[in-house]
Each structure stands twice: as structure tokens, then as C-alpha cells.
Amino acid sequence: MKSILRMALCASLIGCVAEPVDFASSPIVDGTIESGYPEVVFLYNRLGAACSATIVAPRVVLTAKHCIENPSRRGTAGPAADFRVYVGTRPGGAGYVVAEVRPAPGRWDLRDASDVAVLILASPAAEAPREISFDSPAAIVGQTFTAVGYGQTPSGGSGTKYSTMKRVRQTDGGFIYVDPAVCQGDSGGPIIGADGRIWGVASFIYSETGGSPRCGTAPGAYNVVNRWRAFIEQAIEDSGGCVPSPEICNGIDDNCDGVIDEGCTETWEPCTSHDECVGQLCRAVDDGGPRICTLACDPLRPTIGCPGGSYCASTPGSCDGFCRPGEPGDLPLEAECTDDVECRSARCVDPGDGRRRCLAPCVGDAANCLAGEVCAAVPGACGSCVPAAIVAGRRGLGEPCAANEECAGELCIDDGGARYCSRACNGEACPDGFHCRGGECIRGPREGVGGACIGNEDCETGVCATAGERVWCTAFCSDAEPCPPGLTCTEVGEGTSICTPDLGVVGETCDTNEECTSGVCVALGARGVCSRLCGSGDLCGGGFDCVRVDDAGNAVCLPVATAESSTSGGCSASLEPGGAGAWLGVAWLAALIWTRRRRA
């Protein structure tokens, strides 16, 4: 019967916060004037309403949702500028500006036990925050609690902080029911358990016998906060605060005491389990050796992610990497070796042709290898990049092919002269490092303005332009929408202008780096060509291959026609930049105009 009566009273009690600010001195419900609990604050609305609240983080205040409702637009939160937070026994002096108001998701009539809200302050509060309990409120049933608030007194006044100690009766439906302890204006104030933590916020008073509940004799209800943990902690994190939790070995100050991973075992020290290590990884780094704390890393990038004096080694039979003490050797790719540590790539393997040598690591079917190479591994497994000629069996995504049957996906495409295994796609359904063009997954990301392209789908703007032999991604431009640096807005038709590169685009001839948009001019014997750096995860677009150019594993994009014969790179060339050709043919201009209309 109590819950039925309570529901009937909710609507009428929402207005209980709109109490005129009247600084009175009579005790509330057998309470006493409180000069302590500095974190319990007075929440004032410029329209004259008043509530109680609690500082729970340097910039976060916890209160009841009905306390922040906009009286002129019921069912919405009032603007932050309407609220102020005051401290002290009798507020009116020191206070804080509110920067943001957040109501808990749910109804505004209390029926779904969502009567919780937070306010984010514009500056950190000086008062120490009160800890919140997110445990089940059933733990405090029958216990004595402390109520603190600025609410109305039985004699009618309000605006002075009082506290009282009462008994918790029961919990039900998201509320904590208590002996008579709170009045109008105490809404949003905390119920503080014997452990000193906040278990709920004051929500309403109710009648057990029917009729209107009266301040001083009516029992009260607090909205529990444990079900709103994610909501409250998100506000604390968004405000720049720390959400306390048990300290674990993860490189984070979990318990917010200013010390990270206290009691955890440091990297390279002996260990028995993962959870005791700072890096959460305890293992033997040498076969038969002792277990020590180490760190997880990416074996495809052996020189990145590990402390000085160590490198990323791979676990045999998997793609898991771990930091191993030592420095990788100086042997380049294809150099003969006896152990991983001798190679710059940290990978010494016999791929099956009887010759053990330094190879680049890869993952099967992940397009990690460069021009002329395939990954000697099944899909998802770790392997090595080896010349395509020595590997039998179907090839993975992005690897060279001559016919469909050579590919695991049974699709071998010709992309501007580069033939490689692909997959069918629909829109953007391609793996990272690929994009969809004409229903096929194409190597490389979509290019920005000035980048290389074959079709419109290769460009972020959706426009691929041509001028003679020059082809590039472009965008429409005007005085109001200028081109990015390094490009000029050029008229190509009546009322139509596009961005054209000031320097050579990838694939054009060059003499020096300064002649190329990318800043990279690669020498090809008697020729020089504008290029760009590339590598695993950043392959080249249509008509280009990513080719290794030195022993360190550096690679650049080269036209397919020249890629097979390229063995070295540089920053000089003997040929003059090639002919510019005539501006945009009629067919391309029509396509550009059509594309613009389609995108409008």
C-alpha cells in the first residue's frame, strides 16, 4: 500500500524544492545546526528555488533530478547559468559557478527511480569530496544514518544547514525508506551511512495513512545511487576528476592516491602471475628461462613499444609479441642469420627454400607485405614476407596474382597495371588500408586533394581530375572556399574552378624533392619520379607499388612499369618534368559538374 500512496504523492512533491530562501533557525526533524560536512552545499536557482547537494569530486556536485528541472519547461533541465552552489552553514557568501547540468536518463515524475542529477562546476571546489557507495543499499537497512540538508524546518523556515541521525527502514524499487528526517528543500541532500559514504539523495516524503505528508512527521525516501554509477562516474571523468577503484597493476592510478601501481612488480623483475606485473604480463622470455615481468607489443614493429635496451619478439606459433631484453642486430632483410636477435626485423627464418635469413614479419591475409612479396602464413597467423615466386598455394589480400584462381578470395584485379588479390565490396566494406572502387577493394586509403587517383572513388572529395597525363584528386573551389596550401584555384569551365597542384604529383617526373607535392623525388637510374613513403598498413594506390628501396626496410610508391626494375632510391633525377597537356577534356569536365550537382 505504501508504494501506491508514494506514487500518488510524487507529482505534488516535485514542487517542494521551490522554497523561498528564508534563513531560519529552528531545528528540522529533531536536528541540530551543522557546521561540519562542508561538502554538503546549498543549491540555489536564480528563480528562487532551493535544494541541497553534495560535492562528490572536485568539480562535480550530486543532487536530485527534480532539483534541476526547468520550471518554465517541465521535463527538461534548467540552464547551467540559472544555478549557483553555496557553501557554509548559512549560504549567501562563498560559492561556485555551474558550468553544466546533467539529469539522469529517465522520467521526471520520480516513478522510475531516476531522481538523480549532477552539476559540473566551472572551477574545482576547495571542499574535500564525499565518497559515494555503489554497493547494494540493502546493506544499510536497520542501520542509523546521517541526513544533512538546508531544507524547511517544522516551524516553516529554511536555508540553514542541519543534520540529524535516523534509522533506515527498508529499500524497494530504487528507493531507501527512512524514519522522518527530511523536509522540503532537503531534496538532493545525502543519506550518509555509518561508513561515511553517500548511499542516496533525498527525493520525497510520503504519508503512510493517506492525505498530505507533513514535514516533521512524514517518513522520507532517498533515491539510491548504486544503479547510476556509470552516469556519475562519467561526469567525474568528463570534469577531469579521478574515479577511485581498487588499485591493479595497469599503469593507472586506480585508487586516486597519486601513486601508480603501488606494490606491483616492475618490468624485468621475477614474477609468478600476470596480475602482479606493472605491464600485466608475466612470462619466460627465453626458452626454459625464469618468468619475469614484461610488456605486450606488436611483433610487426619490433623496434617500437618496448623500453630502451629491449625489442619486440614474437611468440612461436602466434602473433603475440612481448618485450625481450637485448638490442636487435644490424643485419638487413635477406641477410643470412642464425637467430632473431641478429636481424633488424627481429625475425630470422627459413621460409622453406633451405636458406635461413632476415625477413619482414607479417600476418596472413592482412596485406602487410610489399611489392613482389607474399606472407608465408595462413590467414590470421604470423609469418614472414617472402618473394612470391617461392610460395605455393592461394594468396591473400593485396598480394600479386595473375589469375582469379591464385587468390584466396578468387578475385585477381588489374588496378592501373598492378595485379593483386582483392575482395568484392559494398560501399565501405573493405579492411583497413583499402577502399572500395567499382565493387572491388583497392589498395591504399582514399586520397586527399592533390593525391593520386584513377577514379572518383579513390578521392575523399569524390572528384578525380585529369589534365593530359596528369591525374589527381581535386575539389571545387572559389574565393569563399579556397584550396589547401600548395594548390591553386583554377578555372576549368564557365563558373567552375578546381584545385590544381602547384608542384608535381605522385608519378610525375622530377629533379629535386622541392618539385614534388609530397617532398619526395626518387631517382630511377636516369629518371626521377615524384613519390611518397609507404609501408605495411599504408600501401600505394592504383598504378603504383610499394617498393623497398634500402636495407633498412624503407619503401616508396613507384609506378608499376618501373617498380620491378627499381633497386635504389634517392633525391635527384636527370629528366625535366613532363608535359602538362591540355586542361580537362570535355568528358572529365562533364563528370566534374555532374559530381558537384549530385553532392549538392
Greater model confidence, 572 or 154:
154
The pLDDT of residue 316: 72
Are 398 and 387 in contact, with CB atoms under 8 Å apart? no
Mean pLDDT for 554-559 is 88
The pLDDT of residue 286: 86
The pLDDT of residue 293: 95
CA distances from 585 to 367, 470, 483 (A): 36, 12, 22
The pLDDT of residue 583: 31
Neighbours of 429 (CB within 10 A): 11
Model confidence at 117: pLDDT above 50: yes
Strands 496-501, 144-149: pairing is unpaired
Mean pLDDT for 397-418 is 93
Task: Look up residue 126 and give its DSSP letter.
Answer: S
Model confidence at 163: pLDDT above 60: yes
Nearest residue to 558 via CA among 512, 507, 514, 523? 507
The pLDDT of residue 93: 65
Model confidence at 104: pLDDT above 90: yes
The pLDDT of residue 5: 36
Model confidence at 100: pLDDT above 90: yes
Mean pLDDT lowest for which of 356-365, 499-508, 529-538?
A: 529-538
Model confidence at 263: pLDDT above 60: yes
Nearest residue to 182 via CA among 150, 143, 159, 139? 150
Mean pLDDT for 288-301 is 90
Domains defined for the chain, CATH in brackets: 2-231 (2.40.10.120), 446-504+579-600 (no CATH), 513-563 (no CATH)
Q: pLDDT-based confidence at 563, cuts 50/70/90? A: low
Mean pLDDT lowest for which of 78-87, 247-256, 541-550?
A: 247-256
| C-alpha cell belonging to residue 599 | 553532392
Mean pLDDT lowest for which of 14-28, 46-60, 111-125, 430-444?
A: 14-28
Instruction: Tell me how far apart the alpha carbons of residues 401 and 389 are, in angstroms, rounded to a whole number.
Output: 11
Model confidence at 579: pLDDT above 60: no
Mean pLDDT for 131-158 is 82
Tens of pLDDT, residue by residue over 477-489, are: 999 999 988 999 9
The pLDDT of residue 231: 96
Mean pLDDT for 309-326 is 84
The pLDDT of residue 569: 38
Which percentage of the chain shows pLDDT scores above 70?
84
Model confidence at 567: pLDDT above 60: no
Model confidence at 210: pLDDT above 80: no
3-state DSSP assignment of residue 132: strand
Q: pLDDT-based confidence at 314, cuts 50/70/90? A: confident
Nearest residue to 307 via CA among 339, 337, 332, 285? 285
Tell me the average pLDDT of the chain. Answer: 82
Give the per-residue SS3 of 411-470: CEEEECCEEEECCECCCCCCCCCEEEECCEEEECCCECCCCCCCCHHHECCCCEEEECCE
Which percentage of the chain shows pLDDT scores above 90?
46
Mean pLDDT for 227-251 is 87
Model confidence at 562: pLDDT above 90: no
Mean pLDDT for 294-299 is 90
CA distances from 380 to 281, 319, 390, 445, 484 (A): 22, 8, 20, 22, 40
The pLDDT of residue 463: 95
Model confidence at 464: pLDDT above 80: yes
| C-alpha cell belonging to residue 416 | 592501373
Nearest residue to 569 via CA among 517, 534, 541? 534
3-state DSSP assignment of residue 7: helix
